[in-house]
Amino acid sequence: MEKIKIGVVGAGVWGETHGSIYHEHPMAEFVAICDKDIKRAEAIAAKYGVKEVYADYREMAQKSHCDAVAIVTPDFLHADIAVAFADAKKHLLIEKPLATNVPDIERICDAVERNGIRCMVDLHNRWNPPFNKAWQEVRSGRLGVPKNAYLRHSDIKWVATDMLSWAAKSSIMWFLGSHSVDTLRWMFDDEVSRVYSVKSEGILKDVGVDTADTYLTTLEFKNGGIAHMENSWATPNGNTNVNDFKFSMLCTKGMVSMDLSSHNLIHLVDENRAYTPDILVTNFVFDKCKGLSYESIRDFVDRMVDGKEFRVTLEDARRGALIVLAILESAEKREPVTVNL
């Protein structure tokens, strides 16, 4: 069987991660890289032996020999690139979120349908081992019917102030909230009908990053489930883990709880502070990427090879993005918003 030839647009932090997975995967070939900052693209091309290097994604869409492309540009710059590659009949893996406004969401979905190509969005928490185990247990019916859930998924301030140059043009709701919404829809196996969100601001604005700090959101599901969701980009840099990630779900016959960022599996202390090293998300074992955020990218290749449906469908990502937009609207208006999907 022929390998899937894959190109990457966006040679930043996460674009390199995509490239490294395609380089490593036995059924993938990392053939093209594009960044408007050509030096970034050239550096990754040199490291992984990629022959096609572009500064303009339109040129790549016209000329590249790739079968599929990973779009790994900032949150709000996915749509034009996705449409250009869909029109060039390339399959798509789009980083989360799908897009950050309704016209962009619709343009991508129309282009995928019009061109008959395949598209997955990298909502990777479904590959998180504790969540996947909990999902299997809940789906088995052993715990009864899901009724309530609580999910906290936050980052230390450094992610917004230092890691992402474009945080002020996005939001914690797009960066982590999109994962949170997808996880809750998947765990409840139900659709969100109404949201009410309140935001707080000031910590990030005071240090020059013009975006909200925290969103506290209530989500109501069609079949009566209720979830509380907490997403913040303003937790202290001294946290022992970049993420603060907690989850619990109460069902009619049982309950499941997780603490994914303060686990007791490994604890590290130096002269300055204590750390809880990440072993779930971006872990390496003997130089091989082993974290959940690599498994979703690998799974895209696996599904391209076996032709089965992606584990996160484009419709999942479309609905998730519309729910995040309803949350942002609710926080702006300070009133509940009915979700129209």
Ligand X SMILES: NC(=O)c1ccc[n+]([C@@H]2O[C@H](COP(=O)([O-])OP(=O)(O)OC[C@H]3O[C@@H](n4cnc5c(N)ncnc54)[C@H](O)[C@@H]3O)[C@@H](O)[C@H]2O)c1
HSE (side-chain half, CA atoms, 13 Å) at 130: 15
Nearest approach, Cβ of 242 to ligand X (angstroms)? 11
Start-to-end CA distance of the chain, whole Å, equals: 39
Closer residue to ligand X, CB minimum distance, 119 or 164: 164
Applying the rule CB under 6 A, the residues between 118 and 177 that interact with ligand X are 122, 124, 164-165, 175
Name which of 234 and 256 has its Cβ closer to ligand X: 234
Q: Is 199 in the site for ligand X (CB under 6 A)?
A: no
Least distance from C-beta 183 to ligand X, angstroms? 13
# binding residues, ligand X (CB under 6 A): 26
Q: Name which position in 4, 6, 8, 9 contacts ligand X (CB under 6 A).
A: 9
Which sign, positive or negative, has the C-alpha torsion 50, 54, 58, 63? negative
337-338 and 28-34 strand pairing: unpaired
Q: Which is nearer to ligand X, 50 or 77 (CB)?
A: 77
- The one segment of 28-36, 189-197, 257-265, 315-323 that binds ligand X by CB under 6 A: 28-36
**95 counts as binding ligand X under rule CB under 6 A:** yes
Among 8, 25, 32, 40, binds ligand X (CB under 6 A): 40
Q: Residue 112 interacts with ligand X (CB under 6 A)? A: no
Q: Is 15 in the site for ligand X (CB under 6 A)?
A: yes
Stretch of residues binding ligand X (CB under 6 A), selected from 73-81, 153-161, 190-198, 225-233: 73-81
Using CB under 6 A as the binding rule, whether residue 104 contacts ligand X is answered as no
In the list 35, 104, 295, 299, the residue contacting ligand X (rule: CB under 6 A) is 35
Q: How far is the CB of 252 from ligand X (least distance, A)?
A: 33
Part in contact with ligand X (CB under 6 A); list of ranges 32-40, 298-306, 307-315, 316-324: 32-40
Residue 272 as a binder of ligand X (CB under 6 A): the answer is no
Nearest residue to ligand X by CB is 12
CB of 114 to ligand X, least distance (A): 22
Q: Which is nearer to ligand X, 53 or 184 (CB)?
A: 53
Interface residue with ligand X among 52, 67, 75, 155 (CB under 6 A) is: 75
Q: Is residue 10 within the footprint of ligand X (CB under 6 A)?
A: yes
324 and 181 Cβ atoms separated by less than 8 Å: yes
Q: Are strands 243-251 and 254-259 parallel, antiparallel or unpaired?
A: antiparallel
Half-sphere exposure of 9 (CA within 13 A, CB side): 31
Site residues for ligand X per CB under 6 A = 9-15, 34-37, 40, 57, 72-75, 77, 95-96, 122, 124, 164-165, 175, 293
